Amino acid sequence: MPTNYRKKKVPKWKKQYLKSNLKKELSRKNPNPLIISLYKGDMDYEDYLLSDHWKAIKKRKIKQANYQCEVCGEDEIMLQVHHKHYDNLGCEKDEDLAVLCPHCHQDVHKIISELKGKEFRQRLTRIAIQYFTKNQGDINEKEK
């Protein structure tokens, strides 16, 4: 645990969320000790992002994306890896992550914070359809 980490007051909803995810992590065949620490509150998300474990995942994902933003294709800037969701935190699968340039990453978070409920789901569906349509040729080539 980092020496400068101080426990903060955690809201009730977050305690329940962390408890639920801790139970899920402990039920895995090979639970990740790093993630157990995160869900127990012994470390925070920022510490996880500084871990060697995350750095290896990030490196693998950026390489898989051919060192370019998966939205705009930018390849001359420091890339970031975005969690699409946190269901597999610590055991991230490639499809759980997106490689983004800082500009697209900021846009993604702006869209997420602005949209709510049904509108949010509809917007994500449109984005997914656009992405699938754009990449359909690549998928067909891989299947041959």
- Give the tens place of pLDDT for each residue, 58-108: 999 999 999 999 999 999 989 999 998 888 888 889 999 999 999 999 988
Both 106 and 37 in one domain: the answer is no
Q: No. of H helices and E strands in the chain?
A: 6, 2
Going by DSSP bridges, is the β-strand pair 80-83/97-100 parallel, antiparallel, or unpaired? Answer: antiparallel
User: Is residue 136 one of the residues assigned to a domain?
Assistant: yes
User: What single DSSP character describes residue 20?
Assistant: H
Q: Please tell me whether residues 2 and 27 are part of one structural domain.
A: yes
Regarding whether 73 and 128 lie in a shared domain, the answer is yes
Output the pTM of the full model: 0.66
Residues 6+ apart with CB under 8 A from 96: 83, 84, 85, 87, 88
In a domain, 58, yes or no: no
- 105 shares its domain with 141: yes
Considering its fold, how many domains does the chain have in total?
2
Tokens 């269901």 locate to 87
